[in-house]
Amino acid sequence: MSLLVQKYGGTSVGSVERIQAVAERVKRTVDQGHKVVVVVSAMSGETNRLIGLAKDISVQPKPRELDVLVSTGEQVTIALLCMALSEIGQEARSYTGAQAGIKTDNSYNKARIKDINTDKVMSDLDKGRVVVIAGFQGINEDGDVTTLGRGGSDTSAVAMAAALKADECQIYTDVDGVYTTDPRVVPNARKMSRITFEEMLEMASLGSKVLQIRSVEFAGKYDVTLRVLSSFTDSEGTLITKDDGDSVVEQALISGIAFNRDEAQITVLGVPDTPGIAHAIVGPVAEANIEVDMIVQNISPDNVTDFTFTVNRGDYQRTYDIVNGLAAELGATNMSGRTDIAKVSVVGVGMRSHAGIASKMFKALSKEAINILMISTSEIKISVLIDEKYLELAVRTLHDAFELDKSGNL
Ligand code: ADP
Ligand code: ASP
Ligand code: MG
């Protein structure tokens, strides 16, 4: 007998029929002799609908109230799924995040799970019940509802699996695993049977939303066996594994291509090239809790330089206003910004031991006349910033150039 945590995302519970199909799958798992804890998302589109309602009333709703609102989506799903389970003869109990003992810190809208009290869940499992928990939410020390950021149900599931010492955390979604890139953009993307935590972390942080980045961090830290699979089929899915160094033969040079449209660029022109200038620009932005991603500062023969950086598109206006307010003080001659840009990244641990990946990437993009605006690299990834209108072409081009549709692209 195993203890399994199964998470079902928005599309997987998107209608009454889908919820009934999930109930059948959960019951099948129980009938095979396993204990099952289910974590669910809101029905597809619901979280966006709720955020839309809030924005119709207030440009900047209070974060606390926003959490009270958006957490309701998941509460609907837990009740409906338990009703569906009951209809097919499976005893089940639904719990909100708070009821399931999920304690978080105080940062509304992007809370972190601090601790989980599993007593209630354990006692239900011992009584032969399925436990159905609302993902994406918890409770802070003031007793307020908090949410974990978009895609946060993945993290609820992994955290629950870690706390329960579950044998496996299964993330059921609308694709049958992790692909070499988003299969909706590149139809011949290849499903990977395995990917390392390190690569999955990089893919998630560079925009592949198949798993929320924190869920991968959590799984790596607490040694949770994590699998991504489809709620629509019966395939094995993708196992996220530790890089044990044994699988060199299998190790691909590039494992995947991630992309992110959620980018914006700001350039400060003609600032004096003196010590402290980078801090003078980036410091106030960071103080406003805005994350700066890529940074480029030009070489300046005449002691005057241009400084360019990127932020999340949602933070663009706020960042622009902050830097604009500083421009005079900085001695800048001008400032510009744009939001019609996107980031494409190639990711692979195999890159560590191979030169020439960057040049192959740049060559493939130049063949399609795609201009690179900025570049950033790490040991296991190369990212470029490009015009958003070329994003899909760039992803397809790189997927072809690195022959990711074929396995073993060494
Ligand atoms: P859920 O609602 O189940 O959490 P998400 O929409 O959050 O599902 O994540 C699944 C989606 O992630 C897929 O439909 C797919 O379009 C997208 N995706 C992006 N990159 C990848 C990738 N490399 N492999 C698989 N899916 C990906
Ligand atoms: N419902 C939340 C969202 O849409 C959480 C999740 O689906 O993981 O972001
Ligand atoms: Mg998701």
Domain limits at 325? 257-401
Residue 88 lies in a domain: yes
My answer on whether 147 and 293 are in the same domain is no
Which of 6, 7, 12, 41 best tests ligand 2's pocket when mutated (most atoms within 8 Å of CB)? 41
The ligand 1 site (C-beta within 6 Å) comprises 9-12, 41, 151, 173-175, 178-179, 181-184, 208-210, 256
Q: Is the pTM of this model over 0.85?
A: yes
pLDDT per position as a tens digit, 174-197: 999 999 999 999 999 999 999 999
Indicate the residue among 174, 197, 218 that finishes a domain. Answer: 174
Residue 205 lies in a domain: no
Question: What span, in angstroms and rounded, lies between the C-alpha atoms of 403 and 189?
Answer: 10
DSSP conformation class of 179: B
Question: What span, in angstroms and rounded, lies between the C-alpha atoms of 121 and 118?
Answer: 5
My answer on whether 264 and 157 are in the same domain is no
Residue 243 lies in a domain: no
Pairing, β 145-147 against β 194-196: unpaired
My answer on whether 129 and 265 are in the same domain is no
* Beta bridge partners of residue 33, listed in sequence order: none
The ligand 2 site (C-beta within 6 Å) comprises 9-10, 41-42, 47, 73, 135-136, 150-154
Which residue, 36, 7, 28, 41, is CA-closest to 164?
A: 36
Could you list the beta-strand ranges (E) of 113-222: 113-116, 130-134, 137-139, 145-147, 168-173, 194-196
> Assign residue 177 a region: left if phi > 0, alpha if psi is -120 to 50, beta otherwise?
left
Question: What is residue 407's predicted lDDT score, i.e. its pLDDT?
Answer: 74
Q: Looking at ligand 1, which atom is closest to the CA of residue 257?
A: 23
Indicate the residue among 174, 203, 236 that finishes a domain. Answer: 174
Question: What is residue 355's predicted lDDT score, i.e. its pLDDT?
Answer: 81
Residue 203 lies in a domain: no
Report the alpha-carbon angle 7-208-396, nearest 5: 135
Residue 226 lies in a domain: no
Question: What span, in angstroms and rounded, lies between the C-alpha atoms of 81 and 112?
Answer: 26
My answer on whether 140 and 29 are in the same domain is yes
By the 10 Å C-beta count (0-12 exposed, 13-18 middle, 19+ buried), 259 is classed as: buried
Which residue, 228, 86, 106, is CA-closest to 157?
A: 228
Between the CA of 211 and the centroid of ligand 1 the distance, in Å, is 7
| 261: amino acid identity, one letter | R
H or E element in which residue 260 lies? strand 256-272
Residues 293, 206 contacting (CB under 8 angstroms): no
H or E element in which residue 293 lies? strand 292-297
Between the CA of 152 and the centroid of ligand 2 the distance, in Å, is 6
Question: What span, in angstroms and rounded, lies between the C-alpha atoms of 170 and 12?
Answer: 13
Tell me phi and psi for residue 107, to 5 degrees: -80, 95
Between the CA of 205 and the centroid of ligand 1 the distance, in Å, is 13
Tell me phi and psi for residue 361, to 5 degrees: -65, -45
Residue 341 lies in a domain: yes
Question: What's the length of the chain?
Answer: 410
Question: What is residue 44's predicted lDDT score, i.e. its pLDDT?
Answer: 98
| 7: amino acid identity, one letter | K
Indicate the residue among 142, 174, 206 that finishes a domain. Answer: 174
By the 10 Å C-beta count (0-12 exposed, 13-18 middle, 19+ buried), 216 is classed as: buried
My answer on whether 48 and 170 are in the same domain is yes
Residues 308, 296 contacting (CB under 8 angstroms): yes
Instruction: Report the CATH number at residue 103.
Output: 3.40.1160.10
Q: Looking at ligand 1, which atom is closest to the CA of residue 12?
A: 3
Between the CA of 150 and the centroid of ligand 2 the distance, in Å, is 5
My answer on whether 266 and 148 are in the same domain is no
My answer on whether 165 and 300 are in the same domain is no
> How many C-alpha atoms does 175 have within 13 Å on its Cβ side?
19
Q: Ligand 2: which residue has its CA nearest to atom 9?
A: 150
Which of 13, 172, 209 best tests ligand 1's pocket when mutated (most atoms within 8 Å of CB)? 209
Report the alpha-carbon angle 240-244-246, nearest 5: 115
Residue 386 lies in a domain: yes
Q: Which residue has the tokens 């950086």?
A: 309
Helix (H, G, I), strand (E, B) or coil at 242: coil
* Ranges of the chain whose pLDDT falls below 50: 248-249, 409-410
Instruction: Report the CATH number at residue 358.
Output: 3.30.2130.10
My answer on whether 151 and 264 are in the same domain is no
The number of folded domains in the chain is 2
Q: Ligand 2: which residue has its CA nearest to atom 4?
A: 47
Which of 11, 153, 191, 210 best tests ligand 1's pocket when mutated (most atoms within 8 Å of CB)? 210
Question: What span, in angstroms and rounded, lies between the C-alpha atoms of 13 and 277?
Answer: 50
Which residue, 123, 81, 80, 74, is CA-closest to 98?
A: 74
My answer on whether 267 and 379 are in the same domain is yes
Residue 195 lies in a domain: no
Between the CA of 229 and the centroid of ligand 1 the distance, in Å, is 11
H or E element in which residue 261 lies? strand 256-272
My answer on whether 151 and 279 are in the same domain is no
Question: What span, in angstroms and rounded, lies between the C-alpha atoms of 149 and 266?
Answer: 25
Q: Looking at ligand 1, which atom is closest to the CA of residue 228?
A: 25
What is the distance of C-alpha 158 from the center of its chain?
13
- Ranges of H-type helices in 58-196: 63-70, 72-87, 119-126, 153-164
Start-to-end CA distance of the chain, whole Å, equals: 40
Question: What is residue 245's predicted lDDT score, i.e. its pLDDT?
Answer: 58
My answer on whether 29 and 120 are in the same domain is yes
Between the CA of 357 and the centroid of ligand 1 the distance, in Å, is 26
Sheet containing strand 304-312, strands side by side? 292-297, 304-312, 256-272, 334-347, 381-387, 374-378
Question: What span, in angstroms and rounded, lies between the C-alpha atoms of 221 and 235?
Answer: 27
